[in-house]
Amino acid sequence: MLHSQRIAERFGDIEISRIIASGHKRAYQTALPAARAKGLSRRDRRARE
């Protein structure tokens, strides 16, 4: 399972995890900014800790 998908699921954002799980590059590029906006990206989490 992808790291981003695990984070999205942990935060209960099924939509993002489903987009990432689909594995399409375009969908992934759409999902990442959405995840980042919600602070779900790896970099954002590390900055918060």
Tell me the whole-structure pTM to 2 decimals. Answer: 0.24
Which pLDDT score, from 0 to 100, does residue 43 have?
Answer: 59
Which pLDDT score, from 0 to 100, does residue 5 have?
Answer: 66
Distance of CA 45 to CAs 22, 25, 27, 38, 42, Å? 23, 23, 22, 10, 5
Q: Average pLDDT per run of 10 along the chain, which is 49 residues long?
A: 65 65 61 65 57
| Closest by CA position to 7, among listed 34, 48, 43, 42 | 42
CA–CA distance, 18 with 30 (Å, rounded to integer): 12
Distance of CA 40 to the CA centre of its chain: 6
The full set of domain ranges for the chain reads 3-48
CA–CA distance, 29 with 35 (Å, rounded to integer): 10
